[in-house]
Amino acid sequence: MKRIALPLAFLLAAAPAFAQKPPAGESQTPSAYYPAPPPLEAPKVEQGAPVTNLTSPLAQDMAKVTRTAIDSEAEAQLFAGAGRIVWGRYAKVKGEKPGAVTVTKGPVWTVKGRIDSTAPGAEGDYASIDGVVERITANHVTIRGEVAFRVGKVQKGTACKVAGSLHFRRSGKSHVWRLVEGDNPCDGTQEFFDLVYEKAPGEKKPVPAQPKRG
């Protein structure tokens, strides 16, 4: 086997490097070049647009309702008589009863109500509504507020809510306004949450006005 002879100059140059290696457990003496000295000037960046006088795109949506806009007197008169809540999730269960809702007229109309389930195994489940009426138009009522669905087997019984501008639509001669945003946000079930007109005793059932055809 041939022995490789290292040049003497290489060994002499490498010797100081090996000699400077600190013993185990001791820190190395900092070098004059590490860490590097700070730059003389910070890097220049382009100046962005000023952040003053900015408005949120949600600002208009979050505006407080100060008056209910009524574009259809006939629809308003009909909706003022809404007195029942029907919850589609349990509507076909034998013995299930509708809930109660109260529509209060004023400069700002309010809507508040609740329905409690009596279905076997679903005691404690409920759906509720609480809000103010933004606008009433033909076959359409917009309510700002929230509708909550509490179902024991969904999200461990936590009330799942839809909130904001909620739209209730009525079709034809129906006396039912159905929540458009009626899908449960927790499990995707269509809840079929309805507000139903309830006539007073002895009152003749009104016939909703129909939109004019062009």
pLDDT at 211: 57
Q: What is the pLDDT of residue 40?
A: 75
How far is residue 201 CA from its own chain's centroid?
A: 40
pLDDT at 68: 97
Q: What's the pLDDT band for 158 if we cut at 50, 70, 90?
A: very high
CB-based contact 115:85 (threshold 8 Å): yes
Rounded distance, CA 68 to CA 102, Å? Answer: 16
| 0.85 surpassed by pTM | no
Q: How many Å apart are CA 176 and CA 78, to the nearest integer?
A: 10
Q: What does the pLDDT look like over 124-153, one tens digit per residue?
A: 999 999 999 999 999 999 999 999 999 999
Residue 111's contacts (CB-CB under 8 Å, 6 or more residues apart) are 82, 101, 102, 103, 104, 129, 130, 131, 132, 133, 143, 145, 195
pLDDT for res 64: 84
Residue of higher predicted confidence among 65 and 45: 65
Q: What tokens appear for 193 in the block? A: 């949450």
84-96 per-position pLDDT tens digit: 999 999 999 988 8
Residue 27, pLDDT above cutoff 90:
no
**Phi and psi angles of residue 156, each rounded to the nearest 5 degrees, phi first:** 55, 35
Query: Is pLDDT at 165 greater than 70 in this prediction?
Result: yes
